[in-house]
Amino acid sequence: MSGGAQQDVMSIASDEAVMAAVCARDDDRAFAELVTRWRTRLQQTCYRLTGNHADAEDAVQEAFTRAFMSRDQFRGQASFATWFWRIAVNVAHDVRRRSVRQKELSGTAGHSVSQPDNAQERAVSAERRGQVLEALEQLTETQRTVVVLRHYEQLKFREISEVLGVPEGTVASRMADALNRLSQLLKPE
């Protein structure tokens, strides 16, 4: 099969099938297909989890690197999305922690939330968007993760439970706590 024909087949295959090709043949073209499919979505999620574009880009690069390096751990028992989200969320948390530590050490712990590049988000009121992002920054890491995966990525509680490796009830509890905290933070003065 020619390279172009193989690429056409890959572009219509499921994420699981593409990842199976990556695992079976160390197929970097198949992995490039996954990168193409997931990059934008992952950038948006990492931005919401880390709070700024530079950290988000670092997290995206590291998540894809870790996924490729860990490809032998993908067994197909969970969906590719669940497996990959788990990697990406852990990486985003690591990157955020490193960034916070660096800012604390350099004396610049407070950081502003930069404006996203996404056209859909630009359409939302800049003032309200800033308030929501600042409120997200004030949530605990676990609360912020649940909110981002549920409300921005539209994952179901069951899927979030699988990604985070916690019971579904814990996800629901974290969501309730997060929404309660957000409502307090976003109350009009």
- Cα 87 vs. chain centroid, distance in angstroms? 9
Q: How far apart are CA 104 and CA 106, in angstroms?
A: 5
Amino acid 110: pLDDT: 46
160 near 169, Cβ under 8 Å? no
Domains annotated for the chain, with CATH where assigned, are 13-185 (1.10.1740.10)
Q: Is the pLDDT of residue 144 over 90?
A: yes
- Round the average pLDDT of the chain to a whole number and report it: 85
pLDDT digits (tens, 9 = 90+) for 169-184: 999 999 999 999 999 9
DSSP string, 52-113: SHHHHHHHHHHHHHHHHHTGGG--SSS-HHHHHHHHHHHHHHHHHHHHHHHHHHHT----PP
Amino acid 121: pLDDT: 47
Instruction: Tell me the helices (H) and strands (E) count for the chain, helix number first.
Output: 10, 0
Res. 145 pLDDT band, cuts 50 70 90 = very high
Mean pLDDT score, 11-36: 91
Res. 3 pLDDT band, cuts 50 70 90 = low
Quick one: which H or E segment has residue 6?
Answer: helix 3-12
Predicted TM-score (pTM) of this structure: 0.76
Tokens 């572009």 — which residue?
Answer: 11
Res. 140 pLDDT band, cuts 50 70 90 = very high
pLDDT digits (tens, 9 = 90+) for 51-84: 899 999 999 999 999 999 999 999 888 899 999 9
- Cα 15 vs. chain centroid, distance in angstroms? 17
pLDDT digits (tens, 9 = 90+) for 83-132: 999 999 999 999 999 988 888 887 754 444 444 555 544 554 567 777 88
CB atoms within 10 A of CB 184: 10
Sign of CA dihedral 125, 126, 128, 133: positive
Amino acid 180: pLDDT: 93
